[in-house]
Amino acid sequence: MGVRGIWKGFGGNGADPISVPDAEAATANIAVASDKERLEMLDSFEASDLAWFWATGADCRLTYLSTKAMAQFDAGRVIIGTPVAKLMQTVSEEEHHGETKPMSYLLSSRSNFSELVVSINGEDGNKSSCKWWLLTGRPQFDKKRNFKGYRGTVKDITATYEEKRKTSRMAAFDALTGLSNRHRMTQRLTAALTAYKIEKRSCAIIMLDLDRFKHVNDTLGHPAGDELLRQVSQRLQRVAPAGAEIGRIGGDEFQLIVPDLDDRGKLGDSANRIIQMISQPYSIEGRRATIGTSVGIAVAPYDGIESSELVKAADLALYAAKGGGRGQFRFYSNDLKENAEDRREIEEDLRDAIAREELEMRYQPQVDAQGHSVCGFEALMRWEHPEQGPISPAVFIPIAEDSNMIDQIGGWALTQSCCDAASWPGDLPIAVNVSARQFMNEDLPDIVSKALKVSGLQPSRLELEITESVFMGDVGSAQAMFTKLKKLGVKLALDDFGTGYSSLSYLRDSPFDKIKIDQSFVRGCAEDGKSGRAIIRAIASLARAMDMTTVAEGVEAMDELKTVASLDVDTVQGFIFSRAVSQKDVLEKLESGELRYEPVGPAKHRAQRRTLFRRIGVVHEDHHYVAMLRDLSRTGARIEGLVDVPIGTDLVIDLGEGQIVVCKVRRSQDATQGLEFETPLVSDGAGGLCTRHRVSPYMLANVGMPLQALQSGHHLAAVTAGSGGDASRTRPRFMQLDLGGSASRAG
């Protein structure tokens, strides 16, 4: 076709000189001369590289492309006759905020387009030789409006566009890790939630920050901290759920956007994988470092409709995970706002409790696994709040760590325990817990030495229980602390072995005298097919080979005790022998001369149930009842409030906040029913249970409720209301007790 054909497409007649009547000769010659000049100008323009020309036939295959434009394709590649849509691709929305429709769509719609950015890839899609063009095109039609093809110009903008992309990337991506930055993640989440609201889709966000990262940064230096962040980002990319976008939103904080995933079982599994992956040791400049992470999870539309609402929910869940002891995950729930306020109140009250001496030490016996005679005691701190009653150490110890009260509390606990143990008859040892935050205190050896001196306790009777989390950060610093403590003559025990940061190198390189087997391995170890038995045997054998003793903690049932004793564990600790008791009770026991404890407990381990006292909704056929939930396990529950419910009855219970469970009555006596769930519950990350799925706010909106995140309370009645109308309603089958008094019929 040549430039002449292109010119014709832009309005020139494109014709060769023709014969004309003599009367028109002068005019024709002027026209021909004018066309030649214009063609020469176009040739000159094309050669100048200011722009090139392209053209297609009606089938949108190239019929012409300027020579210099042709040269930008791979040598030997067939260009003329190839479909334009195969040679050029419009850029994605990620890289350009203009037209993003595919080239094939634009051509088929016969659209005009101007300054359209397209990419020209190498053959077979090789992007290493990618060029960027600015494309303009006009569809051509004959007098009958039949499409004849495209004519247009193209300009090479590769250099300027690459610079633009680089600048854009710097504004959207984290320079250190290459992950999306906070600005980009905010934009992506906002765009996703806006689109998903229309399409009624779900979207989860996972928030995490690193535990003990500051310690690595401070001890190994900022370059080591930067390298650690890079390695963390690489691990996240390997373990993130499919389709997730990962961003570093500042410091040691990361965020994952996970589209179309609302299954809390799968999200919990993903969170655990992230925690385990991040917690594996790192090699930083030839030194070993270990950190951990805490994870908070929120899901749209259940926990938030707008991006700010969802991020706030995930932040609260992350805060709760850190408050629960770190190295854990939490799902957002409506009570987290209240819990955050409770936490602040507990922190204030804890400061007062120290001044008022409300804290006290209790002692739980550690008993010989064979003869059941006492071998020592573990010191456990207790707090009896004057208004709220007993507050668990699992609640107030993390608060003490975060508020820098742990050194004061820990120092007092160590001294008090040593003083109490010094008054015991005989030479029984006392085990005292040392938190990871205490362990980081360079003054710890002096604090221990002072406690021994004040109490007069022999150093060999003091055993410091240290969790594996002390190895997070600079392992070399931990080894140096072990050496200083051992010089004092005290013993060291590795507590909660196998729960999060396990490494055999800890046992090889650290001077431990005892290993405590975590209760998670003890629970149900007597049951067939449980891996806990094999793990306990392996730990006991390993400890014996390394001249260490073992303690199995958390033993509660007779079958667990029998199993643990058969696996060569040295000592046992748990409710089956005794809870933690006061110093007065310990003295009475020891002074009586009866040093043996009789095991008392259920014959077999029973799946843990949470004792609850809260109202739930119950649906049978088309009737709603109210019952009291008494206890809850993964596979079932016990409820009270309905009378005459036959065994085998199918029910649906509403646990609140959109949690609906289909179940069957397996036991029924009077007003109490034992239920078996059709689908087991999953961990909520806080030691509790939740359903995998919830009632969607989109479904609630369909029945007239406002589109908003799930609120506290029950929603099943709203979902089923009005289905069938009053005429189709059946008579209520069961008597419902008035939970505040007399019985009544429900309907």
Cα–Cα distance for residue pair 584/594, rounded to 1 Å? 15
User: Tokens 């323009």 belong to which residue?
Assistant: 45
pLDDT tier at 529, thresholds 50, 70, 90:
low
pLDDT digit string, tens, across residues 266-319: 999 999 999 999 988 899 888 888 888 999 999 999 999 999 999 999 999 998
For the chain, domains (ranges, CATH) are: 2-165 (3.30.450.20), 173-333 (3.30.70.270), 340-591 (3.20.20.450), 610-745 (2.40.10.220)
Please write the tens of the pLDDT for every residue from 493-508. 998 776 655 566 667 7
Tokens 């609140």 sit on residue: 656
Phi-psi region of 124 (alpha: psi -120 to 50; beta: other; left: phi over 0): left
Task: Say how far apart CA 538 and CA 508 lie, in whole Å.
Answer: 16
Give, as one character, the DSSP assignment of residue 710.
Answer: P
DSSP string, 133-146: EEEEEEEEE-TT--
pLDDT of residue 102: 85
CA 310 to chain centre: 14
Residue 1 above 70 pLDDT? no
More confident residue, 713 or 248: 248
- Give strand pairing partners of 376: 366
Q: Tens of pLDDT along 536-545?
A: 999 999 899 9
Highest mean pLDDT among 311-320, 610-619, 703-712, 732-741: 311-320
Task: Tally the residues of the chain.
Answer: 747
d(CA 539, CA 549): 10
- Give the mean pLDDT of 124-153: 85
Q: Which of the four pLDDT bands, split at 50, 70 and 90, describes residue 96?
A: very low
Say if CB 571 and CB 563 are below 8 A apart.
Answer: no
DSSP code at position 606: -
Backbone angles phi, psi at 530, to 5 degrees: -80, 135
Mean pLDDT of 103-131: 78
137 against 392, higher pLDDT: 137
Q: What is the structure's pLDDT at 7?
A: 47
- Secondary structure (DSSP) of 210-271: EETHHHHHHHH-HHHHHHHHHHHHHHHHHHSPTT-EEEEEETTEEEEEEET---HHHHHHHH
Sign of CA dihedral 371, 376, 378, 383: positive
Question: Which contacts of 75-82 are long-range, i.e. CB under 8 A and separated by 24 or more positions?
Answer: 77/123
- Residue 640 is predicted with a pLDDT of 93
- Cα-to-chain-centroid distance, residue 719: 30
Instruction: Name residue, tokens 């003054």.
Output: 443
Tell me what the pLDDT averaged over the chain comes to.
85
pLDDT range class, residue 608, cuts 50, 70, 90: low
pLDDT digits over 345-361, tens only?
888 899 898 888 889 99
Alpha carbon dihedral 94, 97, 103, 104, in 10-degree steps, equals: 80
pLDDT digits (tens, 9 = 90+) for 676-723: 999 999 999 888 899 999 999 998 888 888 889 888 877 776 666 644
pLDDT at 747 over 50: no
Helix (H, G, I), strand (E, B) or coil at 655: strand
Average pLDDT over residues 632-660: 93
Tell me what pLDDT residue 506 has: 66
Greater confidence (290 vs 20) lies with 290
Distances (CA, A) of 38 to 7, 19, 32, 55, 222: 8, 21, 10, 18, 65
Residue 45: which pLDDT band, with cuts at 50, 70 and 90? confident
Residue 61 in this model has a pLDDT that exceeds 60: yes
Highest mean pLDDT among 207-216, 336-345, 355-364, 715-724: 355-364
% of the chain residues with pLDDT over 70? 87
613 CB-contact burial (10 Å; exposed 0-12 / middle 13-18 / buried 19+): exposed
